[in-house]
Amino acid sequence: MSIRKFMSFIKYISIFLIILSTSFASAQEVEFVMKTSKQKLGINERLRVDFVMNQDGDNFNPPDFSNFSVVGGPNQSVSNSWINGVRTYKKTYSYFLSPQKRGVFTIGQAAIVIQGKTYKTIAQKIEVTAAVDIPKDPNDPSYLASEGVHLVAEVSKANPYLNEAITVVYKLYISPTIGVDHMNEIDSPKYSDFWSQIINTQNEQVQNGKYNGEDYRFLVYKKAVLYPQKTGKLEIEPLSLDIALRVPTNRRDIFGSTLMSRVNRTISAGRKTINVKALPEAGKPLDFTGAVGDFTFDVNASKTELDATESLQLKIAVKGSGNLKLFKLPKVSLPSSLEVYEPEHNENVKTNLAGMQGSITDSYTIVPQFKGKYPIPSISFSYFDLKSNSYKRLSSDEILINVLNGPASHSTDANNQNASNSNKQAVVLNSDHFAFIKTATTFSAIKQDFFFKTKLFWSLLLLPFLAIPIAILIRNKRATRAADVSGNKVRRANKLVKKYLSNAKKSLGQKEAFYIALEKALHNYLKAKLHIETSDMSKDKITEILTTKQVDTQVVNDFISLIERCELARYTPIDVVTMQEDFEKAGQTISLIDKQAR
């Protein structure tokens, strides 16, 4: 073997070994592990499970957590830092579990796809014992959290009537020495057997008050108006919150300030039982349809004099406070010679802690067919009055409709015949019903024209020759644009920004879909404006680039806060008003960056 061939062989072997070692090193770089806060716990304790990876992945699939209830999570946290030119990345999915029974249980494998390869954690065994005593140590953070935080459900009335409004107000009491980082609603009451309406508490402020005779701060967390739909004992399901707290310890820092310990606590408002009374049978009207409250009743016609085939509107309205959306208005009974269409139902009802208030209306369109006078008989509406605990009836006055012009009825006694609902009358058609069809016409000779040698003929003939240079110009522009890789990325990202902002607007009210679309819009905007790839979108780098481009600090902070909101919003309760504010803020922030970036 010659020296040259030997050196070439050594070169190939070296390259092979380098590739092999690199592949082995890259395979060793990926870590995906499951960490538990403890291996043994009492049935009254909580278990924290973290799934940690050192590279970003897709399609995270947690275990089913059989024999445990998920009381919190998944909470997602990401850490991305550069130290001495070395990047350190850490992503964690956290779950908080409550055991359902005693025994030794296995938490199965979680899986994730990283760089196209699936990684799985190792299953772990957890032992659940009988309930353990929670130490009543005033210096123990868990004990302080259990004693200093309370969720209370206040029910306005424990013995309501069927369809009578009651309110449930959930108040969160917190000791002045305890701080709250964030809270998450993990179990919402379904209010079975009730018609329910949640009242917005977005603008509620923290107040000072008393709980068991001690000073507390409290927040009205949630309000609900309920109308029971069944009689007997009905249960109001509990509301459960998972709260991250800062609890004082007996340790102090070098400045003498009390050090705080972070504790997660799950609290519930507890079940409430109400006894719903049936409405009394004594005195119940035959036409009673379930209206309960305090109402007024009105029937009016848009006109009382008209011609045949003209129309009028007859409106039946109930106004007041009560279960307006839960009963039907009385039907109208009219003579057969009045053609009546199905009513249009309108509701103008607002719901607050006092219950439903407003009005409901049925609007009938009526078209008379014959000349004559037609009485609309009195219409009655009955309801149960909660003030007097008795039934009341409201009746309208008779309305007389006078049809001035039109065909006469075949009956000799038109008024009596029209007042009867039992006999249908044939519709008499007007003699001029088909007057709009023109039967007299005039004819004229058609002048013969030739298409050949007209302006349109020559235009169509020359158009293909004129289109050739235009097509060449368009093709050249397309080729130039296709070669502009960077520009195409920017344009594609701009299109995606508009698309995802539009999707976010359409998804208002659907929390998860809204914030996913908004996050994608923000990321694609960064690609288009700052030429940042998704893998490099750390908050520090975004802040650094925006600051370098002379964007105001406040605008940069607003943009970063929007990204953080998108990351956390899927795991926290957020209403439609907040989503609308975030959407508007995103548009304003993007506009300001466009104007300020240099």
Q: What is the pLDDT of residues 48-104, one digit of tens each?
A: 899 998 888 888 889 988 888 887 778 888 877 777 767 788 888 888 888 888 889
The answer to whether domain 295-419 and domain 485-596 are alike in fold is no
Percent of the chain with pLDDT over 70: 80
With the CA atoms of 178, 181, 187 and 191 taken in that order, what torsion angle do they form, in degrees rounded to the nearest 10?
70
Strands (E), 100-135: 103-107, 111-114, 117-120, 124-129
399-403 and 305-306 beta bridge pairing: parallel
**Domain edges within the chain:** 1-26, 31-129, 141-276, 295-419, 485-596
Report how far apart, in Å, the C-alpha atoms of 297 and of each of 293, 340, 382, 396, 397 are.
Answer: 13, 21, 9, 8, 11
- Tokens linked to 482: 């296709």
Contact between residue 242 and residue 184 where contact means Cβ atoms under 8 Å apart: yes
Residue that is written with structure tokens 């008795």 in the block: 390
- In the predicted model, what is the mean pLDDT of the chain? 81
* Strand pairing class (166-174; 149-155): antiparallel
> Quick one: fold of 141-276?
Immunoglobulin-like (2.60.40)
Token representation of residue 394? 């409201």
Is 60 exceeded by the pLDDT of residue 154?
yes
Q: Is the pLDDT of residue 315 over 70?
A: yes
Neighbours of 244 (CB within 10 A): 16
Residues in the chain: 598
Nearest to 593 by CA among 504, 534, 529, 518: 529
Task: Please give the pLDDT value at position 157.
Answer: 92
Partners of residue 227 on adjacent β-strands: 195
CA 152 to CA 595: how far, in whole Å? Answer: 50
**Local structure of 268: helix, strand or coil:** strand
Residue 534: predicted pLDDT: 56
The class that CATH gives domain 295-419 is mainly beta
- Can you give the pLDDT at residue 433? 45
Q: Which amino acid is at 209?
A: G
CATH of 485-596, one of 1.20.120.330, 3.20.20.150, 3.40.920.10, 2.40.10.340: 1.20.120.330
Q: Does domain 31-129 have CATH number 2.60.40.740?
A: yes
Q: Which DSSP state fits 277?
A: B
pTM for the whole structure:
0.50
What span, in angstroms and rounded, lies between the C-alpha atoms of 386 and 392?
10
| One-letter amino acid for residue 537 of the chain | M
Give 508-537 pLDDT, tens digit per residue. 777 778 888 888 888 777 777 776 665 566
| pLDDT confidence tier of residue 190, bands split at 50, 70 and 90 | confident
pLDDT at 151 over 70: yes
Look at 267-281, 377-391, 423-437, 441-455 and tell me which has the smallest mean pLDDT.
423-437
3-class DSSP assignment, residue 450 = coil
Largest CA distance in the chain: 131
pLDDT at residue 20 greater than cutoff 80: no
CB 299 within 8 A of CB 379: yes
Structure tokens at 553: 């600090």
SS3 10: helix
